Structure 1
Amino acid sequence: MQSIHVSRVFEADAATVFDVISDHAGYASLPGVRRAWLRQTGDDHRDGVNAERVLDLGLARIVERITEYDPGNALGYQIIESPLPIKHLGARLLFETLPGTTPRTRVHWRSQLRARTPLVQAPVAFAIARQMGFAYGIALRIWARRLR
């Protein structure tokens, strides 16, 4: 199993950061994402629990199901459809309000995955986890700049 963890400090309050990161439409502005849309809306909020968001990456599509939606605190999801040879065990973003006189929030993005084929599990899962961690870091950097 591979674990990924990236974090970044945002110069904004947790509720604002959560709104930006949880909005499915905003993913279309990330590198490599052509379009993003909801295949299914969430139970209590458009982007909430049980929402299924589709990320069109050009040659591939990834479908994620929201598993946790706690505005300003936590957002969880699981990749349920992907051409990648992995089983995504889930991801969770935690929004930590930092002390100080100006609003600042640290976002922790954790994810776990394993390869579907046991014989190549270690190298495949390792390579994909590295790429996912790199992509998460870029996404956090873009969103942090947007909120300055």
Structure 2
Amino acid sequence: MPAAPYAALALGTDPASPPVGNSSDTAVVKGLSMRTLDLERIIRAPRADVFDWITDATNYQRVPAIRRVTPVRPGNVSEHGVGAVRLLVTPLLRLTEEVVDYDPPRLFRYRVLKSLPPLRRQDGTVTFDDHPEGTRVRWHSQFEVATPLFAAAWTLALIPAVYLGVSMVLSTAEAELRRD
């Protein structure tokens, strides 16, 4: 019997944690104080369409957990390309992100310039690959809460919000782009 699609959210370095989240996600979070989230999903739509949807942060306003998205500065060559800065506001996070790599329709990379709660480091890479069922999206993010006390505990507490936020962005993209 073939294995069913699954999602796993591994706290710490144990990838054997029980499945969590959308059954079409594959996700692992690992690390001690610095956390790494790797989430993968197949979206049944052409790669260029998926890339365009995910790199246009104004689409995120339709994601349930995102309260506001404000474009701060357009990219140097493309509106959503390298140099673009956008502000994302959620119930638990406020992030100002800058696009640092933009290679349509293959790769998108960003880093957080400012955040609340403050993050010592947060960056992400999203890759897009052709797949027989559409487009494979891989979202890789690293983050750590910057606080003088209990940084590892605060970072650990933030894992569900980061996972759910990324998963909801992918779910919304999938719902809006899906082609069967």
Normalised by the length of structure 2, the TM-score is 0.74
Q: Is the 8 A contact 1:7 1:137 kept in 2?
A: no
Structure number with greater CO (CA < 8 Å, separation at least 6) is: 1
Give the structure 1 partner of residue 72 of structure 2.
39
Query: Is 2:176 the partner of 1:146?
Result: yes
For 1:60 and 1:123, how far apart are their aligned partners in 2?
16
Query: Equivalent of 1:22, from 43, 55, 73?
Result: 55
Query: Equivalent of 2:84, from 30, 51, 65?
Result: 51
Query: Equivalent of 1:76, from 86, 105, 109?
Result: 109
Q: Secondary structure at the match of 2:75?
A: coil
- How far residue 59 of structure 1 moved from its aligned partner, in angstroms, is 8.0
Q: Secondary structure at the match of 1:82?
A: strand
Taking a change above 3 Å as real, the CA distance of residues 141 and 60 of structure 1, as seen in their structure-2 partners, is closer
- Which structure has the bigger radius of gyration? 2
Segments of 4+ in structure 1 off by > 4 A? none
Letter in 2 for 1:69: Y
Segments of structure 2 that go 5 or more residues without pairing to the other structure are: 1-33
Percent of aligned pairs with the same amino acid: 30
Give the structure 1 partner of residue 122 of structure 2.
89
- How far residue 118 of structure 1 moved from its aligned partner, in angstroms, is 4.9
Segments of structure 1 that go 5 or more residues without pairing to the other structure are: none
Normalised by the length of structure 1, the TM-score is 0.89
Query: Equivalent of 2:41, from 8, 18, 31?
Result: 8
Structure with the largest fraction of helix: 1
Aligned length: 145
